[in-house]
Chain A
Amino acid sequence: NAGVMQNPRHLVRRRGQEARLRCSPMKGHSHVYWYRQLPEEGLKFMVYLQKENIIDESGMPKERFSAEFPKEGPSILRIQQVVRGDSAAYFCASSPYWDQETQYFGPGTRLLVL
């Protein structure tokens, strides 16, 4: 049973480009969470999604950031017109619908904006 998968593991973008980060939850998990870790800091909650629904996006920046979790396929975190301050590690976690306490984390995508 594969764990949470994220790709790419490393992503380099120039300012103004778009970044797309993908997360495939563990098999059977219907809940996905995205967290961001700025350099030398802890992880901060961004958004919580279920299939085809955004449940809580209270941690998402109001502009340029969006997330989706379609019926089929991975969850996508999209950052438009990236700026240097978006450079961070982005972690995805998943949980089964019956146990939100147990969140399994992926290896993260490290985004570097030049």
Chain B
Amino acid sequence: SQQGEEDPQALSIQEGENATMNCSYKTSINNLQWYRQNSGRGLVHLILIRSNEREKHSGRLRVTLDTSKKSSSLLITASRAADTASYFCATGSSTSGTYKYIFGTGTRLKVLA
């Protein structure tokens, strides 16, 4: 079953507004990462939050992690048209010596100028 599920699947906002995306997962994790992917391009790493952390900031990005609810959120403040992309959460955990990331299905964000 899918580990990470992003919500909403698609989000359309006006430039300057904030965008919030959520990610839920099922099993224990070591960390959780958020990535951005522009259409047809590779992944850009945004932020990593460890299981013992609750919140992290990076520029206009704010990530929270609630391990009791097995959920994380990504907030992009003062959005720009250039933020238009798909955003994925990826949960990292170690199983039998292999560190794997399991990706969610993504939130497609469209920022209208």
Contacts and interface: CB of A to CB of B under 8 A. Distances in A.
A45 interface: yes
A97 B106 CA distance: 29
A45 B102 contact: yes
A104 B45 CA distance: 8
B42 A101 contact: no
A56 B98 contact: yes
A91 B101 CA distance: 13
Contacts of A105: 35, 42-43, 45
Interface residues of B, number: 26
A103 interface: yes
Contacts, number: 56
A99 to B, nearest CB: 9
B71 interface: no
Contacts of B35: 105
Contacts of B103: 35, 42-44
Contacts of A48: 98, 100
Interface string A102-114: 0111111010000
Interface of B: 2, 4, 30-31, 35, 40-43, 45, 48, 88, 90, 92, 94, 96-106
Interface of A: 33, 35, 40-45, 48, 55-56, 91, 95, 100-101, 103-108, 110
Give the 10 A-B residue pairs with the shortest CB-CB distance, closest first. Answer: A100-B99, A42-B103, A107-B42, A56-B98, A43-B103, A105-B43, A42-B105, A45-B100, A108-B42, A42-B104
